[in-house]
Structure 1
């Protein structure tokens, strides 16, 4: 079978038609970087090198100006034609099992020897986040802003800690994320980025799991009985109304539903560590403790 053939439906869904039909931008740019990693995308803009990007995957949604770029599909369902249309000189991806896909597209990119880059540092806490920012600053020859970015992150974290000390309660929080790759709603486990951020904000995710779990039974959510439920933006908007949100398995049985504490949160504020993590924790504190 010719592995360069891609199903027509996939091409339609994941075409490179840009969020605002602007796929012709930056045609003459020398550095033509495509990012399939939302964390890298945000850090590039913070470093002042966002203009090197010619396309991103659809999960790259911060800062707002990134939405002016063409998209190459979801990072786990990339469009080969979409990527090649950008004439990339480099593809950024996190590396690891859930970095980019599908496998057929990855194989095609390898056969055409499209350069890819994964940064060595994995941001799993504040110290490693600052290290990643420094590593990317060196790679992009953009170190002049690194110290100020890291200092602001430290200051924001210090403020967030002071604010956390004002709260005597620990709020039980469930995060529900819509998995675009699998077209399902999933509950986020405590052992991950969201769990750590919620802990810093004065909450706890009562699901002692790593990664995410598909919501297949009302018992998963009802048994946890959270005080607050956070839905990431894509899934929240897809449902479109609180009535439909309450139809998700187990949601309507929780204290969060009974007390009207189900909130929308931007995925890019919760799913990865970056320059705004301190700011985002302060937002979380206001949200879950209100």
Structure 2
């Protein structure tokens, strides 16, 4: 029976692709481009709304929860665990997706469905945000509006970077992805967490590795963070009190001072139009007790 499973799946996906093509073809044609758009990636959805193009959206992925109106759209699944059937069954005439959507097999099927797919590069610095804005605007045929939005967001980001550059005694931040089961999953370099910490004027307390990985108690104590940063709304239900009670965290400056802050995951890690604001809030948590220059 196993020999027939791949063929059955191919037939199923083929049927979904054909249905999607028919639905897209049945949609009324408009001179200003595609009108049945699926957006995959929370930061891209924010950009679409900031451009005023939300009326074209028919569905979004699970990470697209801001603004609140976006969360009311049909959900086609988590960005990295999509099924081609789920994405294509809504009959899109264009898909705009953040780099890394998948899994790879699903991404390949979606991209071969005969529907225009625009893949937007991801990143964790100011330039990557501006690139996202411009490329998303181009996909919607709104280049001029994209330049205007990029100008406003770019000015906010430049101000945040200038503020961060003016901090002489930078404090150390440990981003904890999870503390479940007493195991500490933290961010190293080349991550969105490291990017927002830098933009807020902090120093990523973990170095020597890239990405997110489990770290030892000894490594956390040696990192000596001044602040613990957590993601609210993630899969880790641990409370701040539980984090502070962890033996390794309790031995750090952050633990001793009770300095832990939770922020919305998309807000701090999405790297979209609100990132400069998120950096300012994180910076306030880090340096709010520091007197302003001249005081």
Return the offset for 1:112.
4.3
Comparing both structures, which one devotes a greater share of its residues to helix? 2
TM-score by length of 2: 0.74
Larger deviation, residues 68-77 vs 186-195:
186-195
Listed as ranges, the matches of 1:121-136 within 5 Å are 122-136=122-136
Instruction: Please say if 1:79 is aligned against 2:78.
Output: no
How big is each residue's C-alpha offset from its partner over 1:89-119, in whole Å with a ceiling of 9 and x where there is no partner? 2332233xxx123345345435644542213
Tell me the residue number matched to 1:105.
106
Gaps of 5+ in 1: 6-26, 179-183
- Tell me the number of residue pairs that the alignment of Structure 1 and Structure 2 aligns: 260
Local SS of the residue matching 1:250: helix
Q: Distance in 2 between matches of 1:56 and 1:249?
A: 41
8 Å CA contact 1:169, 1:202 repeated in 2: no
Return the offset for 1:150.
2.3
Alignment partner of 1:35 out of 28, 39, 52:
39
Tell me the residue number matched to 1:116.
117
Return the offset for 1:56.
1.8
Return the offset for 1:242.
2.5
8 Å CA contact 1:217, 1:249 repeated in 2: no
TM-score by length of 1: 0.75
Return the offset for 1:126.
2.6
Larger deviation, residues 152-161 vs 34-43:
152-161
Q: Distance in 2 between matches of 1:253 and 1:224?
A: 11
Quick one: structure 1 residues 192 and 49, their matched pair in 2 at CA, closer, same or farther if it must change by over 3 Å?
Answer: same
Q: Distance in 2 between matches of 1:163 and 1:88?
A: 43
The structure that has the greater radius of gyration is 2
Q: Distance in 1 between matches of 2:212 and 2:39?
A: 26
Larger deviation, residues 257-266 vs 57-66:
57-66
Q: Distance in 2 between matches of 1:106 and 1:131?
A: 22
Gaps of 5+ in 2: 10-25, 29-33, 289-295
